[in-house]
């Protein structure tokens, strides 16, 4: 991964208000310390890279460390904040909402928190969505439920109208929970706010079940997603071994990145073929999936295939015009049903028995409550987002890098999609776990 071009965090102004969180500035006194802006986390922590920068007398790339600051920008007693959730559902959204509200109420003493209904639509008057007053009583048990209590929507809304609504309602902090489209919108909102010279902080909490946001080690909900997908893989394996020449196919989410498919396969260890968008494969020919599947069934009488939704799209190309969803994403062809039908037809053409069971758990996976690990992670992201916003930081997201919580400009996390490197140790571990060939193409 290339070093980020920009890691500097935008601030609304000088912080002059003492933080109501009474922490320490002295190391070793057994009290947690405030974090200073000059504390940073190296982008590349390898010693070879460090010496390269030392030799060149250049400062190595780094991210600003997240955490509570000694001085804050906003007066908590006069502050009004808002939370919006956009895009598809993902385990852990309610955990983030709850943690933001609790952090503002009980750590900073800021008790005016609004929930924006149905994504960015909620800012636009013509839709008629009312705000929700978020209180500790309202959110106290929402982390036990999947989805988002604020509901969601896709699609762009006029940035100027969104900022009009923020200004008109005296909202000074906006927390945007969403993926790449949501964060692009948050960036545009922050830019419009700056043009108008308004003191409004915009802080993003990255949300994508696919784990594909740049410079973010892990997005919340991802662990829950592949753990839930694992349950379907186990079911597919049971079905596959329960019939002659049984083939279980599980399609999981992953438009551009196959992390869910790969991680679920590693967790389960019952998968024979993992198909992801990052690695092309052939169906026909000596190295194609169908030939490999024939050999597998001859030897073991069953097989399990896990396929990410964005895999194999080159096999499904047609001359028809591309269609897009409300978020501007290309509508993918259904690789899952394509494989199911193509495998059935292949073996029937040879007059061979085949028993294919197809499972698509996508909506179950994304609507489930967060597991313990994701719940902890989502809450920590939210708490650090509040610390950043209270300190007047804006046009940024909170994420982790080298297991430390950091601040990253929205522009930087939107610079490309995070995806599996086919030359990485991670992908090689998948190949070792499945036993599938390193290459399933005939022209290599």
| Residue of 180, 210, 360, 374 with catalytic role | 210
The phi, psi pair for 194, rounded to 5°, reads -65, -40
Helices 425-434 and 259-268 meet at what angle, rounded to 10? 50
Sort strands 62-65 and 10-11 into parallel, antiparallel or unpaired: unpaired
Strand partners, 73: none
User: Exposed/middle/buried for 213, CB within 10 Å: 0-12, 13-18, 19+?
Assistant: buried
Annotation marks residue 210 as catalytic = yes
Helices (H), 269-407: 289-300, 335-349, 362-367, 372-390
If one counts every other C-beta atom within 10 angstroms of the C-beta of residue 244, the result is 11
With H, G, I as helix, E, B as strand and everything else as coil, classify residue 216: coil
Strand partners, 303: 247
To which H or E segment does residue 83 belong? Answer: strand 81-85
User: How far is it, in rounded angstroms, from Cα 360 to Cα 250?
Assistant: 6
DSSP characters for 371-422? -HHHHHHHHHHHHHHHHHHHTTEESEEEEEETTEEEEEEHHHHTSSB----T
In the structure encoding, which two tokens stand for residue 96, read together? 């983030």
With H, G, I as helix, E, B as strand and everything else as coil, classify residue 11: strand
Question: How many Cα atoms occupy the beta-carbon half-sphere of 199 within 13 Å?
Answer: 12
Residue among 201, 174, 17 at smallest CA distance from 85: 174
To which H or E segment does residue 40 belong? Answer: strand 40-42
User: How far is it, in rounded angstroms, from Cα 280 to Cα 213?
Assistant: 22
Residue among 438, 434, 413 at smallest CA distance from 424: 438
User: How far is it, in rounded angstroms, from Cα 403 to Cα 40?
Assistant: 13
Structural contact between residues 310 and 256, judged by C-beta atoms closer than 8 angstroms: yes
User: How far is it, in rounded angstroms, from Cα 286 to Cα 1?
Assistant: 34
Catalytic residues, by residue number, are 210
């Amino acid at each position: 991964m290339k070093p980020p071009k920009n890691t500097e965090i935008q601030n609304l102004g000088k912080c002059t208000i003492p933080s109501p969180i009474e922490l320490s500035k002295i190391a070793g006194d057994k009290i947690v310390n405030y974090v200073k802006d000059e504390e940073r986390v190296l982008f590349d922590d390898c010693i070879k890279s460090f010496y390269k920068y030392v030799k060149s007398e250049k400062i190595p790339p780094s991210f600003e460390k997240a955490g509570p600051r000694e001085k804050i920008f906003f007066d908590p007693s006069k502050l009004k904040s808002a939370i919006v959730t956009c895009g598809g559902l993902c385990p852990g959204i309610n955990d983030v909402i709850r943690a933001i509200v609790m952090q503002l109420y009980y750590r900073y003493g800021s008790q005016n928190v609004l929930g924006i209904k149905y994504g960015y639509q909620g800012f636009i008057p013509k839709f008629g969505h009312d705000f929700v007053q978020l209180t500790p009583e309202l959110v106290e048990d929402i982390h036990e439920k999947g989805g988002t209590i604020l509901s969601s929507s896709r699609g762009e809304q006029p940035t100027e109208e969104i900022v009009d609504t923020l200004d008109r309602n005296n909202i000074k902090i906006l927390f945007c929970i969403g993926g790449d489209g949501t964060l692009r919108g948050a960036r545009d909102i922050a830019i419009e706010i700056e043009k108008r010279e308004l003191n409004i902080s915009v802080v993003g909490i990255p949300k994508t079940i696919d784990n594909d946001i740049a410079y973010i080690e892990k997005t919340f909900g991802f662990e829950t997603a592949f753990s839930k997908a694992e349950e379907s893989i186990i079911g597919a394996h049971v079905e596959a071994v329960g019939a002659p020449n049984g083939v279980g196919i599980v399609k999981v989410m992953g438009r551009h990145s196959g992390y869910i498919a790969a991680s679920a396969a590693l967790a389960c260890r019952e998968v024979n073929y993992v198909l992801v968008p990052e690695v092309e494969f052939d169906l026909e020919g000596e190295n194609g999936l169908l030939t490999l599947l024939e050999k597998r069934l001859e030897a073991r009488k069953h097989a399990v295939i896990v396929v990410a939704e964005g895999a194999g799209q080159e096999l499904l190309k047609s001359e028809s015009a591309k269609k897009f969803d409300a978020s501007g994403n290309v509508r993918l062809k259904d690789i899952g049903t394509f494989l199911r039908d193509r495998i059935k037809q292949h073996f029937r053409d040879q007059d061979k028995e085949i028993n294919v069971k197809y499972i698509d758990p996508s909506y179950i996976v994304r609507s489930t409550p967060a597991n313990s690990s994701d719940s902890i992670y989502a809450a920590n992201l939210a708490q650090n987002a509040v610390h950043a916003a209270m300190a007047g930081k804006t046009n940024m997201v909170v994420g982790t890098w080298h297991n430390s919580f950091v601040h990253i400009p929205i522009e930087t996390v939107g610079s490309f999609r995070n995806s599996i490197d086919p030359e990485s140790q991670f992908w090689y571990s998948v190949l070792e776990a499945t036993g599938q060939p390193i290459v399933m193409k005939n022209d290599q």
